[in-house]
Structure 1
Amino acid sequence: MSPLSYGLWLGVAFGVMSCCAYTAAAVAQRRLAVRVPEPLTGGHQIGALLRHPLWWISLVFNGGRAGFQVAAVSFAPLTVVQPLGVLVLVLGIPWSARLAHRRVSRAEWWGAAYTMVALGVLLAVTVTGDHGGVLSYGDSVLVGVGAVVLLGAVAWVAGRVPSRAWRSYLLAGAAGVAFGVSAATVKTAVGAFGEGVLAGLTHPSSPATAVIAVFGLLLAQAAYQGMDLGAPLGITTLANPVAAAVVGVALMGETYAGGWLGGVVAVGCALVAAHGIRLLTVASTEEVEAVPPGTRGT
């Protein structure tokens, strides 16, 4: 086996491990949402999350996901690693259903299939090339402040949306944006630390990564409150690479690989994914409404 193919397969292996860790984190967060079902709008609910072991378990798995993802893109191009993200839906939906002692519904299977196919095609034809640099000092400040303001605004709006489904949509999308942007800032931070510990600690990408990542975890947790795993996880999985690609093309010198044809395919895939997420949402809403209110925290 040539060194190139060895590195490629090693990158794929790390990518699969990252998906498994992310799936475990998402399932833990969904189980935590069952135990703390109230919307995360006050300090009491946040405190309840921080006191629950499942929150810290999800943090460990999310940390593993981030580490495996960094290793994956070190050995394989984004065009190979990013499409592996569809495995999160393949693993997460039946896993979550099994822990809830129920079967995966037909609507969920179809919804997952539509979403996975759409996301796989979307990433295969429209992801950025594997060339590019890092964020400049000024762009790191711009991205960090801009992301925090955007995420805070979306969270504020979501907290005032009466529909449980749309609240979950907004929060899950914001979480995906947070994870995608933090991928760009962490890449920049790693480069800064390569110039020395002091340079890394004082570079704005380092605190931006920490703040945005924590914001993303809380947004993802809030997206699972009152919804099953499928719909919010599908939206987060879709928004993550899109946000990373936008930052990469706009500010990091990466190139858009899709061209005009990729743009047309992207629109079509977005419509198919929207249909799949709608099916997942219908299944999620029916399952939540079927549970008596007094038993949701058990």
Structure 2
Amino acid sequence: MNATLVAVVLSLVSAAAYAAAAVAQARLAGRTEPSAGVLRMLGRGAWWSAVGLNAAGALLHVAALKYGPLTLVQPLGALTLVAAVPLGARAAGRRVSRTEWRGTLLTLIGLGALLMTAGGGAAPHETLSLPEALGVGAATMAVVAGLSRPGTRPGLRHAAASGITSGVASALTQTLTVAVTDHTAGPLFSWRLLTVALLVSAFAMGGLLLSQTAYRGGLGAPLAVVTLANPVAAAAIGLALLGERLQGGAVSVMLALAGAAAAVRGVILLSRAQERPAPRTAGGDRTPADAGPAPSRIVIGSPRKRRRPVLARAARGRAPHAPDPGAPGLPGLDPLAVRTGGP
């Protein structure tokens, strides 16, 4: 079977696993207090389910990197967002909107254009040297430290840091994969491969924790930023250090730019559609989608003109006309039932 086809199929299944993990993480973030620490999260089964899905996606991704270059495998990771749209809508108990379908279609068109200009079908053979791996690791940690500093909009910055660390982990994973399966890449056990393996583990776990923090602000925009930052970081390493190139000449470059623009537009549409504000209550507060019905309010008045509640008029400083204590009460009117609320 063609190596490119194998890489594409493995990448598609990996994207589906990552999408399911992202939806699980977003639901967990919505049920977790922002002040909750990592240790508290480790005791939840939902967290370990998300970890298992991410691990499955990572293993499939590693297998895809054996058969395809970074410039081919990483853009397919954007399908994670496409798969997360119906999964997230189903988990929220709603239908996929027209805007979300438009974003999905644009993303697929953009990915198709990018795949036409990606690297050839030959399996990768280049690996990172020890100085290159250390340099990539140091630069990544510096960028992540800058993005994850305290400040405004932490969700999107943490999402960008998560995408970068995941993309770098993929690039480093390719070095491990090629070295293990291709004996011409050097000795199997060496300081270089041990260092690369440690960096892969650190960046993979760091990307998972950063994405969990980013999903506290919702699924759409953070996942879109992760989806865009991941292939950009991996492709930059592949083009700069691993000798990968885009196919074709100027026409292919223009096609790649058009595809990138379409994919970015699709991601923006998906992000906006998934960030719709929750409905407001009568008092102006936002209510979650899974909240129950608002408390009922019973106001007794004339059928022709609704009278305002007695308590509301008293709160504004205009006391109602008090009846004579000795007079009999109004028939059918219970003073305690003037304003009632639901359970």
Instruction: Report the AA paired with residue 96 of structure 1.
Output: G
Q: How does 1:85-100 map to 2 (within 5 A)?
A: 85-100=77-92
Distance in 2 of aligned mates of 1:278 and 1:122 = 18
Partner of 2:216: 225
Deviation at 1:123?
Answer: 3.8
Partner of 1:23: helix, strand, or coil? helix
Partner of 1:185: 172
Distance in 2 of aligned mates of 1:154 and 1:283 = 25
Deviation at 1:133?
Answer: 0.6
Aligned 8 A contact 1:179 1:213 in 2: yes
Identity %: 36
Q: 1:19 to 1:280 in 2, by over 3 A?
A: closer
Partner of 2:339: none
Instruction: Report the AA paired with residue 16 of structure 2.
Output: C
Deviations 1:195-246 (A, max 9, x none): 6675268632121111111121122222221223x33333322322221111
**Aligned-CA RMSD value:** 3.1
Aligned 8 A contact 2:30 2:216 in 1: yes
Instruction: Report the AA paired with residue 178 of structure 1.
Output: T
Deviation at 1:143?
Answer: 0.5
Distance in 1 of aligned mates of 2:158 and 2:137 = 18
Is 1:207 the counterpart of 2:203? The answer is no
Distance in 2 of aligned mates of 1:8 and 1:185 = 20
Distance in 2 of aligned mates of 1:231 and 1:15 = 22
Aligned 8 A contact 1:115 1:234 in 2: no
Is 1:138 the counterpart of 2:134? The answer is no
Aligned 8 A contact 1:118 1:270 in 2: yes
Partner of 2:236: 246
Of the three residues 68, 93, 98, the one matched with 1:106 is 98
Partner of 1:32: 28
Partner of 2:16: 20
- How many residue pairs are counted as aligned between the two chains? 281
Q: Which structure 2 residue ranges, 5 or more long, are not aligned?
A: 281-285, 292-343
Instruction: Report the AA paired with residue 25 of structure 1.
Output: A
Once the two structures are overlaid, the 10-residue window that deviates more, 53-62 or 283-292, is 283-292
Q: How does 1:36-75 map to 2 (within 5 A)?
A: 36=32, 38=34, 44-75=36-67
Once the two structures are overlaid, the 10-residue window that deviates more, 260-269 or 273-282, is 260-269
Of the three residues 287, 291, 297, the one matched with 1:292 is 287
Could you say which structure has the larger radius of gyration?
2
Distance in 1 of aligned mates of 2:211 and 2:60 = 20
Partner of 1:119: 111
Of the three residues 160, 164, 179, the one matched with 1:173 is 160
Deviations 1:86-144 (A, max 9, x none): 54233211111111112222222222222332233234324577545111110110001
Distance in 2 of aligned mates of 1:20 and 1:256 = 26
Deviations 1:135-156 (A, max 9, x none): 1110110001111111121121
Q: 1:248 to 1:256 in 2, by over 3 A?
A: same
Distance in 1 of aligned mates of 2:269 and 2:6 = 35
Greater percentage in helix: 1
Of the three residues 269, 272, 276, the one matched with 2:262 is 272
Partner of 2:140: 147
Once the two structures are overlaid, the 10-residue window that deviates more, 95-104 or 72-81, is 72-81
TM-score, scaled relative to structure 2: 0.70
